[in-house]
Amino acid sequence: MEAARRGDRDAFNELVRSTYRDTYALAYRLTGNRDDAGDVVQDAYVRAYRAIRRFRGDSSFSTWMYRITSNCASTHLSRRTRQRTEELSSDTPIVDLRPEQDPSLRAEAAVLRHNIDRAVRSLPERLRQVVVLRDLHDLSHSEIAAELGITTSAAKVRLHRARQRLRTVLQRTSEFGAGHGPSPIQDGEAS
């Protein structure tokens, strides 16, 4: 870390290698799209490289990258909303599938993961961020609050609301035959 702060590119490249997988996973969860996630990750590392000398070390480099990535994703999504008018496909491929050996379990796991990803993508950005940071990156409520610039209480409330919405959406999905038939998400519920 110290070498990277002094301008050592090899040291920074090592930090990128050690955090890339988690940074990409966060970007993918926040954007729901591989291409957008790739753009967000690239932007996040460029911003980190430019700001590395100002990194105080109050948190780990990976936590700092989560915050930068979250900010980049938010900026990217707001830009994308202004620029794009077509609807995104809901059958976006899923990253990092490691199914069991049993083909039927593989199929069930794929359907479940698709439904969960779809439900998470249906959340408003402020709720999606807390779910991704807590449940996928295992940050504490106080770390989430610091990452998003909100109070710990607000982080807890957002997480509770996000989980309630996810539960409702996933229950409706299972009622509709595990992803078959009409969409369980009605207009207006995804906002």
d(CA 126, CA 88): 19
Pair (111, 151) in one structural domain: yes
The reply to whether 6 falls in a domain is yes
**pTM beyond 0.75, yes or no:** no
Structural Rg of the chain based on CA atoms? 18
In a domain, 20, yes or no: yes
Residue type, 66: Y
User: What is the rounded average pLDDT of the residues 161-185?
Assistant: 70
**Mean pLDDT score of the chain:** 80
Q: Are residues 119 and 66 in the same domain?
A: no
| Per-residue pLDDT, 91 | 66
Residue 158 forms part of a structural domain: yes
Residue 90, pLDDT score: 63
The reply to whether 108 and 158 lie within a common domain is: yes
Total number of domains in the chain: 2
Domain encompassing residue 116: 103-175
Backbone angles phi, psi at 45, to 5 degrees: -70, -35
90 part of a folded domain:
no
Q: Give the pLDDT confidence of 15-62 residue by residue, as tens digits.
A: 999 999 999 999 999 888 899 999 999 999 999 999 888 888 788 888
Residue 111 sits in the same domain as residue 69: no
Buried b (16+ CB within 10 A) or exposed e, 34-73: eebbebbbebbbeebbeebeeeeeeeebebbbbbbbbbbb
pLDDT in tens, 4-25: 888 889 998 999 999 999 999 9
Domain membership of residue 65 (yes or no) is yes
On whether both 117 and 60 belong to a single domain, the answer is no
Q: Is the pLDDT of residue 148 over 60?
A: yes
Assess if residue 62 is contained within a domain.
yes
Assess if residue 144 is contained within a domain: yes
Is there a single domain that holds both residue 126 and residue 160?
yes
CA distances from 176 to 115, 162, 169, 172 (A): 11, 21, 11, 6
Higher pLDDT, 180 or 140: 140
122, 70: one domain: no
The percent of residues above 70 in pLDDT, for the chain, comes to 77
DSSP 133-185: IIIIT---HHHHHHHHTS-HHHHHHHHHHHHHHHHHHHHHHHHTTTT-SS-S-
Here the CATH number for the domain that contains residue 78 is 1.10.1740.10
Encode pLDDT of 119-141 as tens digits.
Answer: 888 899 999 999 989 988 888 99
